[in-house]
A and B are shown apart, each in its own frame.
Chain A
Amino acid sequence: MKIIIPLMIVFFCGFYMLITFFIPAKFAQDSSQLLQLWYQGVAAFFVFIGIFNLIKINIDKIQRKLRDWQYSIILLFFLGVMLGAGFIGGRDSKIFLYFFENFQVPLGATMFSLLAFFVASASFRAFRAKTPEATLLLIAAVIVMIGRIPIGYLIWNKFPDLVEWIMQVPNTAAKRGILFGIDLGLISMALRVLLGIERSYMGGGGEK
């Protein structure tokens, strides 16, 4: 029963959502939206579980004086500040916005900006012409890079057109090929999940 009931819920909800995709009538659309709303309702409760887990692990770290335990104090302090500011003044309160705009946004932007350096280091490794495929990749990348900047046009005025062709034809063709595979794989996996063949996501292992 522990496995059968969740499997039946997955089966009926999954196939119901699939069928309502093809039925435009109001009752079908309303009921599928209701199911999605239920999911959002359940997801809202899980926020508390997440916060509880975060607090528990960091308090434990402080108590046991594990490595870098001082950072846990900072984390819990700011968690408390943001929660308090949010509960008291709402998301538009001055203190909430102050911490969000002056701490979270610049820290997030800093992490994002690391991408520029990582793209350079990853490209350096990827573009080493060790094999014919890597050489092809290197040539295509050099053309695209040169064609995307103004000097590329000055070197040869057809560079931007060549770049456009590379992006629109071989690049799009490869991408669509991958997308076809992804969609087919997705449908096949969905069928395995709906029929209960694939149940390891429930912790139930494979075929029983």
Chain B
Amino acid sequence: MFLVLFIIIYNIDLRAFDVPNDDGSSIILKWQSDEIFQSFEIFRSLNAGENFEKIGEVNGIEADFRDSNLKPNNDYYYKVSGKRDSILIFSNIAGPVKPVVQYFNLSRLPMAICIIILFASVLFYIRRARKGKKLFIRKIPALNAIEEAIGRATEMGKPVLYVPGIMDIDDPQTIASMSILARVAEKTAEYGTPLYVPTSRSMAMTMAQQVVKESATRVGRPDWYNPDNIRYITDDQFAYVSAVDGIMVRERPATNLYLGTFYAESLILAETGHSTGAVQIAGTAMPDQLPFFVAACDFTLLGEELYAASAYLSQEPIQLGSLKGQDFGKLIFIAVIVIGVISQIFNWQFFINLFNTIE
């Protein structure tokens, strides 16, 4: 009689759902109970009411469980038992639940829309540029200064140091840096100024060697290219910094260019360069490192300017078109942000929910 009463009082209400936007391999269980249990055991079966096997155990404060590695489109049944002292209390049987394969992650739909809009605006302006429309692009002082800085190094008869960051070529900033390196190498080759490119990754070194070699050939100076000037140092962050600092102190380059991904080494490099009297131009998309570069360098490319640099330096209409498209995308996002602020103030749930799902 006591046991019957106990079961009635300690009821566990179990529900099971297919996990949305997944590969059809997971089901999520959620349960509610009015009383406190020490732990819960989770059971699964392919048939309602029989052959339940234990698949997991969670402590008493948990109220959900994710069952992974399931076969898609199979029916599954679940029950949960709450344990309190020596008594086990079972929940209702939840199911059948079928994990379903999703072919589009709906929670990423707003992001997909944003990317499509941006792609469309970039392609639109590229098309306009192809038709010969004149595009106005604002001046980026740091990029205009690169040529002057290389010229200064040439006049002083000193080398140019190019640091492409400490990450490998799977980092977009390193790719952007290599594009700028191509333009810098063209100029240095044209002027016959030595260019040092110490790299922290061997793959980046190979890429940099190829970029510099091709640039030298393009301006008709293949003899200028010296592969030993583009060298691998080490993957270790601070060992790399000490080696680059050593190059600055020994070789005294007149121009230091830091373009790529930087972490704690940014200020060590920039301050050592400053102490040698070099003109310094930096650029990174790491917001935490930007203040250090701004404080220690003569010019700094702020975030997006690093990605825009290659297009800006090339002055090719099609590349400039992509920059214009990027700016148009920015305008759209500013509008979205303003609408978002207004939506929050007036509690327009539809617009708010649209962006709540972005991961």
Which residues of A come within 8 Å of B, CB atoms? Answer: 18, 21-26, 29, 39, 42-43, 46-47, 49-51, 53-54, 57, 60, 67-68, 104, 107-109, 111-112, 114-115, 118-119, 121-123, 125-126, 175, 178-182, 184-193, 197-198, 200-207
* Known interface pairs A111-B241, A181-B304; 12 further A-B residue pairs with C-beta atoms within 8 A, sorted by A's residue number: A29-B23, A43-B203, A53-B232, A121-B271, A178-B302, A184-B329, A184-B333, A185-B307, A189-B310, A190-B172, A197-B319, A197-B322
Closest CB-CB distance, A93 to chain B, in whole Å?
A: 19
CA distance A31 to B342 in the complex (A): 42
Chain B residues with CB under 8 A of A186: 172, 285, 304, 307
- In the assembled complex, the Cα of A139 lies from the Cα of B291 at a distance in Å of 16
A123 to B206, CA, bound (A): 37
* Cross-chain contact A118 with B271 (CB below 8 angstroms): yes
A54 to chain B, nearest CB (A): 6
11 contacts between A and B (CB under 8 A): A46-B201, A49-B232, A121-B271, A175-B287, A179-B287, A182-B303, A187-B329, A188-B326, A201-B175, A201-B207, A203-B182
* Residue contact B102 to A24, C-beta cutoff 8 Å: yes
- B268 within 8 Å of A (CB atoms): yes
B325 closest partner in A (C-beta) = A188
The total of interchain contacts (Cβ-Cβ below 8 angstroms) comes to 209
Q: Are B231 and A53 in contact (CB under 8 A)?
A: yes
Q: Are A200 and B202 interface neighbours, CB within 8 A? A: no
Q: Output the least CB separation between B290 and chain A (Å).
A: 7
Interface residues on B, range: 35 or more
**Residue B270 lies at the interface, judged by CB distance under 8 Å to chain A:** yes
> Do the beta carbons of A187 and B115 come within 8 Å of each other?
yes
Does the CB pair A24–B105 fall under 8 Å?
yes
The smallest C-beta distance from B311 to any residue of chain A, in angstroms, reads 7
Once the chains are docked, how many angstroms separate the CA of A22 from the CA of B102?
10
**Bound-complex Cα distance A26 to B72 (A):** 10
Q: Would B237 and A108 count as touching, CB distance under 8 A?
A: yes
Point out which of A24, A114, A175 has the most chain B C-beta atoms below 10 A from its C-beta: A24
* Min C-beta distance of B244 to chain A, whole Å: 11
In the complex, what distance in Å separates the CA atom of A47 from the CA atom of B108?
37
Bound-state CA distance A188–B176 (Å) is 11
Q: Which residues of A contact B237 (CB under 8 A)?
A: 108
Q: Give the CA-CA distance A109 to B270 in the complex, in Å.
A: 18
A207 near B236 (CB under 8 angstroms)? no
Q: Are A185 and B210 in contact (CB under 8 A)?
A: no
| B203-221 CB contacts (< 8 Å) to partner A | 203, 205-207, 210-211, 213-215, 218
Q: State whether A205 touches B119 (Cβ < 8 A).
A: no
Chain B positions within 8 Å of A, measured between CB atoms, are: 21-25, 101-105, 108, 112, 115, 118-119, 122-123, 126, 168, 170, 172, 175-176, 178-179, 182-183, 201-203, 205-207, 210-211, 213-215, 218, 228, 231-239, 241-242, 250, 264, 267-268, 270-271, 274, 285, 287, 290-292, 294-296, 302-308, 310-311, 314, 316, 318-319, 322-323, 325-326, 329-330, 333
Asked if B304 and A111 sit within 8 Å, CB to CB, the answer is no
CA distance A57 to B250 in the complex (A): 17
Q: Which residue of A lies closest to B269 (CB)?
A: A118
The residue from A42, A125, A184, A192 contacting B330, defined by CB atoms under 8 A apart: A184
CB distance from A40 to the nearest CB of B (A): 9
Q: How close is A191's CB to chain B, nearest CB, in angstroms?
A: 5
Q: A122 to chain B: which residues have CB within 8 Å?
A: 267, 270-271, 274, 292, 295-296
Q: Are A198 and B310 in contact (CB under 8 A)?
A: yes
Partner of B268, one of A18, A22, A115: A115
Q: Which of A50, A179, A181, A184 contacts B205 (CB 8 A)?
A: A50
From known contacts A24-B23, A68-B250, A122-B267, infer whether A201 and B178 are also in contact, taking CB-CB under 8 Å.
Answer: yes
Nearest CB of chain B from residue A5's CB, rounded to whole Å: 15
Counting chain B CB atoms within 10 Å of each CB, the highest count among A42, A51, A115 belongs to A115
Q: Which of A22, A46, A107 contacts B239 (CB 8 A)?
A: A107
| Residue among B119, B202, B213, B326 making CB contact with A185, cutoff 8 Å | B326
A82 CB to nearest B CB, Å: 11
Q: Which residues of chain B are near A25, meaning CB under 8 Å?
A: 23-24, 101-103
Q: What is the minimal beta-carbon distance from B229 to any residue of chain A, in angstroms?
A: 10
Which residue in chain B gives the minimum CB-CB distance to A207?
B316
A190 to chain B, nearest CB (A): 7
A206 touching B302 in the complex, CB below 8 Å, given contacts A118-B271, A126-B294, A201-B211: no
Known contacts A50-B205, A53-B202, A111-B241: A202-B232 contact under CB 8 Å: no
Known: A53-B205, A53-B231, A197-B126. A104 touches B239 (CB 8 A): yes
Q: Inside 8 A of A104's CB, which chain B residues have their CB?
A: 236, 239
B274 → A minimal CB distance (Å): 8
Compute how far the CA of A189 lies from the CA of B311 in the bound complex, rounded to whole angstroms. Answer: 9
CA distance A126 to B264 in the complex (A): 18
Minimum C-beta distance from A199 to chain B (A): 9
Contact call A26/B25, Cβ cutoff below 8 A = yes
- Tell me the complex Cα distance, A119–B296, Å: 10
Residue of chain A at shortest CB distance from B176: A189
